A = this chain, B = another copy of it.
Amino acid sequence: MEKVKQTVRTPRSYGQFCAFARALDVVGERWTLLIVRELLPGPMRYTELKTSLAGIATNLLAERLRSLEANGVVERRLEQSGVSYALTPWGAELHEPMEALGRWGAPLLETGRGDDAFQPRWLALALPGLLRGVTANPPVELGIETNGFALVLRIDQDGPSAMIRPDRQPSTVLSAAPEVVVGLAAGGLTIDQALASGEFRGDRQVLSTAFPAERESAVDR
């Protein structure tokens, strides 16, 4: 029999006339914002999402994507190579609140990595968030390489931003373990400590420009 369960589940609403509560109605369910975080650097395939978000059930991923699409946050694209999911312009604007929440959560990284999963892709949200307030003129570009994955951190007079799959590789590349990269950005390590640890290599001069110690700290808790 051709029964097609459309599964148009209507998510539980808070029923409040409040922009914040209505935002949570759209993106407040479990896994939803993590899917958006994955898509922030660029479109992804279903299976890429599934493997990057270790632990999400396949039916949940499908349902969240459907819900996000229905609400105009995510766009489902049929390309020659297959299906890909991308953020709509409105969905991409989640970047700001998410970066802010990541900054708020930075102290929670102090307990270390433990057995937690890590995807270098997540740095695209975390690094600009943690370095908010840092500016550079002339602009600085620094390659970051972790777990065999490369992204470029750019700092100009408007602040930091991250790019994945850049046109050209910057001349200076920092190669280090996730804890070191994140610790650096969060201020848990100074450039000198990191250099002394021998855990990464890079051009000290450029790094010192990019990561000044005297920025206002959002993580001094």
Contact = CB atoms under 8 A, between A and B. Distances in A.
Interface of A: 14-26, 28, 30, 33-34, 37, 54-55, 89-90, 93-94, 96-98, 100-109, 113-119, 122, 125-126, 129-130, 178-179, 182, 186, 221
A221 B94 CA distance: 14
A23 B104 contact: yes
Contacts of A90: 107, 221
B100 A19 contact: no
Nearest to A126: B19
A55 B126 contact: no
Contacts of A54: 15
Contact of A22 (B16, B105, B130, B178): B105
Given A16-B118, A93-B104, A94-B104, 4 more contacts: A18-B37, A18-B125, A19-B130, A97-B100
A14 B56 CA distance: 9
16 contacts: A15-B55, A15-B115, A16-B34, A17-B113, A17-B117, A17-B118, A17-B182, A18-B116, A19-B109, A19-B126, A21-B105, A23-B102, A25-B108, A93-B104, A94-B101, A97-B100
A100 B109 contact: no
Given A16-B118, A17-B116, A97 B104 contact: yes
Contact of A122 (B18, B34, B109): B18
Contact of A102 (B19, B26, B108): B19
A185 to B, nearest CB: 10
A16 B108 CA distance: 11
A12 to B, nearest CB: 8
A100 to B, nearest CB: 4
Nearest to A221: B90
Nearest to A101: B97
Given A23-B102, A221-B90, A17 B108 contact: no
A101 B23 CA distance: 7
Contact of A129 (B19, B179, B186): B19
A38 B89 CA distance: 30
Nearest to A105: B23
